[in-house]
Chains A and B, each alone.
Chain A
């Protein structure tokens, strides 16, 4: 059985979405396992790693990583092609795919469902989910429903929290 990271409902191996709360269960992981959970967030090993625009290697299998600028933590985004960013609170039924609660999300002005990252054929897109404080990419506030293209090294700012995109698939990175 696998367990839904959001509501702890148990499902058979191979299930892709939790039957209880609809959360996507990550597929590409070893047998009974969980989806991306907050504690998957790994500390960047040390400062000898080259800093992003030069391009650190992505951990195997991840299409995309987010580097929290203030702390240097790297969050791997695994196993799917869209991720919601936000913060969880006690008792909330749905948690975002990438839970930023650890990073003082509330004080930083991050909404519960703040933004969405989407990996598509022609690039990575970020979309604001009607958040209270908005989403800023490289200093520019993004608007509209269509989503904005982002590239390797770009800075996404949710409220006040700054995240840097590390990606293999966007142009200009190796």
Chain B
């Protein structure tokens, strides 16, 4: 039997759902999936599965037997899983009160220790913005950085370089990338000129990655851009979703300050990647190398977390803190990207729990993690993750774990920055400026002098021109986001 596709998940109800809830969930699913009206391929099969789930769960005896079977399977499963997971709660129990309460969960996903130590082959596609604004130093630096990566490729790695303006072109094909002299000659032809249409670049870059798709390896795309794309944002996101479905992760690198941080964040977030802000192009070489090095440390890709929250539970926000900090959407499934051998993927979930009636314990979430081990059989491995907490009328006297409070402390700073930007968009620039002054004070207290200075600078800028400088908004956003990275001491 399959744990990840259990009947509860299928019906999207929690494990302790009442008969009435199950009935309602089935009615809703049937409405959506009924053979008379469905159009998408596979929905008829899904409908049959959902019906089977409903028949089992609606009958008390059958449900009890199924629960037992499920529990046994889950235990066997967790033991055999190549992943394991630790959970840290902000409180050891919830309060029995008649108002909503907030609870935080820190979730770490590790690879099992007995995985073989193999360096996975890397299938890399680098997509470069060649628009006019890249002319000069930026393009020179990027060209040199890319060439350096090609020189470092291992025998079983593949790479391609795509450049785009209003249209895209493969500059160095995977075959040419293997011969450095050819690659160098091809790269020297790369000149800046034209507009910025990111979707063009992504389409071609992804085509290249698919042609050399590595089933045992890491498939990764790096997008380097310094400009805004117009009109093709939706297509970009669609491409990102397709990439995520294939297990390809996209890292976005924004050079200078005139790119759209929201779009790049969304593209990267949907694929489990992350975004780096490069103020000057000098750092591009180090950045590409560190990305390339981290790819050789990957043990699994296509990590994803899915499942359902408990009945009275809502997800207010979700952030990935490790390996790179990144805000995640507030709904499941969440795409987490690659899992490194060392360290973990760490998530911080903020839950709102609505008033609890009577119960002694609450199921906060019933999740399962899935991912593909590199170099192993292509079967997707999963791990069930259940989070439940006792409920008590006493407050928990213990302070929250340090990892959680320090992460939230930094998250508070990141959120102040988000709020200030939101306020500027609403035209409340005076309020936003005050907020930034507050942010500066707190950054100073946290020892972040440069960021504090940047925040004060933006506060002045706001009172003068009523808007952020493009550079300042990115410095603050990515600067405070970087603070979310736990200090090395607390990584273990």
Contacts and interface: CB of A to CB of B under 8 A. Distances in A.
B447 A27 contact: no
A31 B95 contact: yes
A132 B257 CA distance: 35
Contacts of B402: 81
B197 interface: no
Interface string A9-27: 0011111111111101001
Contacts of B398: 28
Main secondary structure of the interface of A (DSSP, over half): loop
Contacts of A19: 412, 415
**Interface bin, chain A:** 20 to 34
Interface in A88-113: 93-94, 112-113
Nearest to B397: A28
A130 B444 contact: yes
B348 to A, nearest CB: 11
B365 to A, nearest CB: 16
A39 interface: no
Contacts of B397: 28, 61
Contact of B101 (A12, A24, A130, A145): A12
Q: Which of B90, B439, B442 has the most CB of A within 10 A?
A: B442
Contact of A16 (B405, B419, B437, B438): B405
Residue from the set B90, B95, B397 with the largest chain A CB neighbour count within 10 Å: B397
A79 B399 contact: yes
B99 A22 contact: no
A116 interface: yes
Interface residues of B, number: 39
A145 B408 CA distance: 23
B444 A12 contact: no
Contacts of B404: 16
A19 B404 CA distance: 16
A16 B408 contact: yes
B343 interface: no
Nearest to B351: A14
A163 B91 CA distance: 33
Interface in A1-49: 1, 11-22, 24, 27-31
A129 B449 CA distance: 10
Interface in A28-84: 28-31, 61, 79-81, 84
Contact of A17 (B409, B444, B445): B409
Contact of B447 (A18, A79, A93, A145): A145
Contacts of A93: 434-435, 437-438, 441
Contacts of B409: 17, 24
A113 B445 contact: yes
Contact of B97 (A11, A22, A31): A31
Contacts of B104: 14, 16
Given A22-B413, A84-B445, A113-B441, A14 B102 contact: yes
Nearest to B94: A14
Interface string A145-164: 10000000000000000000
Contacts of A130: 444
Contacts of B400: 16, 27
A14 B95 CA distance: 9
B438 A113 contact: no
Contacts of A84: 445
Interface string B401-443: 0101100110111011001000000000000001101110110
13 contacts: A12-B102, A13-B95, A14-B91, A16-B90, A16-B400, A22-B416, A22-B439, A30-B395, A81-B402, A93-B434, A113-B441, A116-B445, A130-B444
Give the 10 A-B CB pairs with smallest separation, nearest first.
Answer: A22-B412, A17-B412, A14-B102, A93-B438, A13-B101, A14-B101, A12-B102, A15-B102, A94-B441, A16-B408
